């Protein structure tokens, strides 16, 4: 059986899925057509129901939870891994509502957190996450909301951190920050859903056991990143929650959804989120 699978070219995703798509583990008769896209493109594809299995932001998941269920394996949650709000100029005091913010996507968890912390910042421009730093340097935007490997590169370009929204979330809730997860179409047989979850978990476990085995695949898709930065990226975003959400991971996700629904930032979700 062949299934469509979408994930980003970022090191954490290529690390997680390398063993699965390159048959380093037994895929139990499943094959995968792989689509590499940035997170907001994956969010949009999920909204259209285009893929059988896909990575997506937890913010976007709220809009497709009736069609997709969340796997226990493959998610990106953690402490100290949140999006950063940065700038070229230094700002002191309250951020004015007329400031233009470059965001990595309407349905990203980063944008959701920005809405909680700075509800006045509504002048937003959606950009590919990797272009936000350049837009700041060229003064096309006043503020930038950065994710992924840009956490490790903005200072080298002379940009300034205004706030770590992950730290903001942790102080607000005491939970790990849920960034993205792997979902599967609910129309697939339950047996297939459980099999995919099992295979993704095995793929993560294989990567942890053989971290150098996927370096070429990671490097092939990483954007201008040296090996040290690639592994720093992986260490931040791939952890125990990527193997199994567990009670802590589910609590963090449930807290995110409850808080978002209380503030009318997402629609009410009527189905169980998990497989």
Sequence ranges of the binding site for substrate: 55-57, 109-110
Question: Cα separation of 17 and 8, whole Å?
Answer: 10
Question: Cα separation of 240 and 181, whole Å?
Answer: 13
Question: How many C-beta neighbours within 10 Å does residue 258 have?
Answer: 12
Residue pair 4/184 in contact (Cβ under 8 Å)? The answer is: no
Closest to 145 measured CA to CA, from 155, 157, 133, 158: 133
Closest to 181 measured CA to CA, from 232, 235, 241: 241
Question: Cα separation of 264 and 213, whole Å?
Answer: 44
Helix (H) or strand (E) holding 4: strand 2-7
Active site residue 148: yes
Helical segments of the chain, H only: 11-21, 39-47, 58-64, 109-117, 132-137, 165-173, 190-209, 215-221, 227-237, 240-243, 246-262
Question: Cα separation of 14 and 10, whole Å?
Answer: 6
Residue pair 66/188 in contact (Cβ under 8 Å)? The answer is: no
Question: Cα separation of 183 and 9, whole Å?
Answer: 17
Question: Cα separation of 175 and 80, whole Å?
Answer: 11
The one catalytic residue among 22, 59, 148, 210: 148
Binding residues: 55-57, 109-110
Catalytic residues: 148
């Amino acid at each position: 059986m062949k299934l469509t699978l979408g994930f980003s070219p970022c090191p954490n995703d290529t690390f997680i899925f390398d063993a699965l798509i390159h048959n380093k583990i037994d895929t139990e008769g499943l094959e995968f057509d792989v689509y590499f896209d940035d997170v907001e493109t994956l969010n949009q594809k999920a909204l259209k129901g285009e893929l059988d299995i896909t990575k997506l932001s937890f913010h976007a998941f709220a809009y497709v939870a009736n069609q997709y269920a969340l796997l226990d394996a493959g998610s990106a949650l953690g402490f100290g891994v949140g999006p950063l709000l940065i700038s070229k100029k230094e700002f002191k005091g309250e951020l004015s509502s007329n400031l233009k913010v470059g965001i990595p996507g309407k349905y990203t968890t980063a944008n959701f957190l920005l809405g909680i912390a700075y509800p006045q910042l509504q002048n937003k421009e959606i950009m590919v996450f990797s272009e936000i730093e350049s837009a700041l340097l060229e003064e096309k935007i006043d503020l930038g909301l950065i994710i992924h490997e840009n956490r490790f590169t903005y200072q080298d370009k002379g940009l300034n951190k205004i706030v770590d929204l992950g730290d903001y979330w942790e102080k607000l809730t005491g939970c790990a920050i849920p960034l993205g997860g792997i979902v599967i179409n609910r129309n697939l047989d339950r047996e297939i859903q459980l099999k995919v979850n099992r295979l993704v978990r095995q793929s993560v476990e294989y990567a942890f056991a053989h971290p150098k085995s996927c370096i070429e695949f990671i490097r092939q898709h990483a954007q201008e990143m040296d090996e040290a930065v690639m592994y720093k990226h992986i260490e931040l975003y791939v952890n125990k929650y990527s193997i199994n959400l567990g009670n802590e991971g589910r609590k963090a996700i449930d807290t995110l959804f409850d808080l978002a629904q209380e503030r009318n930032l997402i629609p009410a979700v009527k189905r169980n989120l998990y497989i």
